[in-house]
């Protein structure tokens, strides 16, 4: 069984999302919803995906038992992550993600 570290409840943006504050609204088995604040308020909804934890960056060695959930990068939006204007549409998208993942797991 995999040990998966969840994303934080609050995240301060760095790099391309510098100065954006992310606050986790929901974490389910298959999806996350974050409320995002900068000059505007909006919501980011995305499928829960994880990657192995890097044990040695120099040698590129990754754990076989420890994993961490990933926050999507810009190229994931429109594929497995979405930006939405309000909580209602974010919640609907999270339900849609959960249904799609469950269908995928059954096939």
Tell me what pLDDT residue 37 has: 94
* Overall number of domains in the chain: 1
Domain that holds residue 18: 3-106
Residue 3 — pLDDT band, cuts 50, 70, 90?
confident
User: Model pTM?
Assistant: 0.89
- For every residue of the chain, DSSP letters joined together read --EEEPPPSEEE--GGGTT-EEEEEEE-SSEEEEEEESSSEEEEEEE--EEEEEEETTTTEEEEEEEEE-PPPGGGBTTTEEEESSHHHHHHHHHHHHHHHHHHHH-
């Amino acid at each position: 069984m995999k040990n998966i570290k969840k994303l934080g409840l609050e995240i301060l943006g760095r790099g391309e999302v510098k100065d954006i504050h992310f606050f986790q609204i929901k974490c389910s088995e298959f999806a996350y919803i974050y409320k995002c604040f900068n000059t505007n308020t909006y919501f980011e909804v995305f499928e829960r995906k994880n990657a192995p934890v890097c044990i040695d960056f120099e040698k590129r060695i990754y754990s076989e038992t420890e994993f961490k959930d990933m926050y999507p990068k810009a190229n994931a939006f429109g594929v497995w992550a979405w930006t939405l204007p309000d909580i209602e549409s974010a919640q609907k998208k999270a339900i849609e993600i959960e249904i799609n993942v469950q269908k995928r797991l059954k096939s």
